[in-house]
Copies of this chain bind each other. A is one copy, B any other.
Amino acid sequence: MNPSIALTIQSTTHRDTEGIRAISVAVGVFDAVELATVDELLEAYFTHGPAASGYHFLTAHTHGEVAGFACYGPRALTSGTYDLYWIVTNPTYGRSGVARALVEAVMNVLRSQAGRLLIAETSGRTEYAKTRAFYVRAGFVAEAVIPDFYSPGDDLYLFVKRA
C-alpha cells in the first residue's frame, strides 16, 4: 500500500526528538511512565546505537514534520525475531498509511539483517480493537491468545508478521 501522503522514513536522529515527544503526548494513550520510557529508550539508542542498546527507531517525515515513528529491537535468545515496541502516528496524519509504511520500513530493515519474525503484543480489550485490526491489515497474524495474561479479562494477543 502506498501511503496517501509523501513520506520519507529513516533511522531516527536527534532532530526528531521533539517531534517524537510531541506526537507521543498527542496520541493520548501513554501515561507518564510510558512517556518517560520512550525518552529513556531514545536516549539509549542515541548514546549506544541500535546494536548495543537493542532499540532501533525509525522516523517517518512529511513536509519536514514527524508523521510517526516506530521502535523495535531483537528478542533475547532468538536469532532473527524482533519485537515491535511502539508504532505511533501523528494524529494529524491518522489513516494516511503512515503506520503501515512504518511497518513495511521495519520489515525491510529486518530482511536486510536476516530478520524473520516481527512480534507485536497487544491487549484483547475493546479499547485495542482498532490496534488489533491495524495489525491484521498490516499483514500480522494473531498466532497466540493467552486469556487473562495482562489482568483478569485482559488477554494477550501475540501478532506475528513473517518476513
User: Measuring CB to CB, which residues of chain A are less than 8 angstroms from any residue of chain B?
Assistant: 77-81, 116-117, 143-146, 148-152, 158, 160
- List the B residue with the shortest CB-CB distance to A80: B151
Set of chain B residues within 8 Å of A150, measured between Cβ atoms? 77-79, 81
Complex Cα spacing A158 to B116, Å: 19
* Top 4 closest pairs, chain A to chain B, by CB: A144-B144, A79-B151, A78-B150, A143-B146
B81, B145, B146, B148: which contacts A149 (Cβ < 8 A)? B81
| B146 and A146 form a contact (CB under 8 A) | no
* Cross-chain pairs A/B with CB under 8 angstroms, 23 sampled: A77-B150, A78-B149, A78-B150, A78-B151, A79-B150, A79-B151, A80-B151, A80-B152, A81-B149, A81-B150, A116-B148, A116-B152, A117-B146, A117-B148, A117-B149, A143-B144, A143-B146, A144-B144, A144-B145, A144-B146, A144-B158, A146-B158, A146-B160
Which residues of chain B have C-beta atoms less than 8 A from A148's C-beta? Answer: 116-117
Q: Name the B residues within 8 Å of A81 (CB-CB).
A: 149-150
Task: Collect the chain B residues with CB atoms within 8 Å of residue A117's CB.
Answer: 146, 148-149
- Distance to closest chain B CB from A124 (angstroms): 13
A2 → B minimal CB distance (Å): 30
Residues of B within 8 A of A77 (CB): 150
Min C-beta distance of A90 to chain B, whole Å: 25
Nearest CB of B to A25, in Å: 20
Which of chain B's residues has its CB closest to A121's CB?
B77
CA distance A158 to B77 in the complex (A): 14
Which B residues lie within 8 Å of A149 (CB)? Answer: 78, 81, 117
